[in-house]
Amino acid sequence: MTKYGKGRSKRCVWEVEASFGAIVLAKRKRKD
């Protein structure tokens, strides 16, 4: 259970970083 929980949390963090990166890219495209 512990290993599964850690893997799950890492996946959530990766998804958050990916979505945040997409927002940053969208803002940069608007400025350009």
Higher local confidence (pLDDT), 1 or 31: 31
Q: Say what the pLDDT of residue 26 is.
A: 92
Residue 5 has pLDDT above 70, yes or no: no
Give pTM, 2 decimals: 0.45
Q: Average pLDDT over the chain, rounded to whole?
A: 77
Q: What is the pLDDT of residue 31?
A: 76
Read off the pLDDT of each residue in 5-10 and give the average, rounded to a whole number.
64
Question: Tokens 């290993």 identify what position?
Answer: 3
Coil, strand or helix: which one is 1? coil
Question: Which 3 state secondary structure label does DSSP give 30?
Answer: helix
**Span 8-26, mean pLDDT?**
82
Q: How far is CA 29 from CA 2, 13, 19, 25, in A?
A: 41, 24, 15, 6
**Token pair for 11:** 């996946």
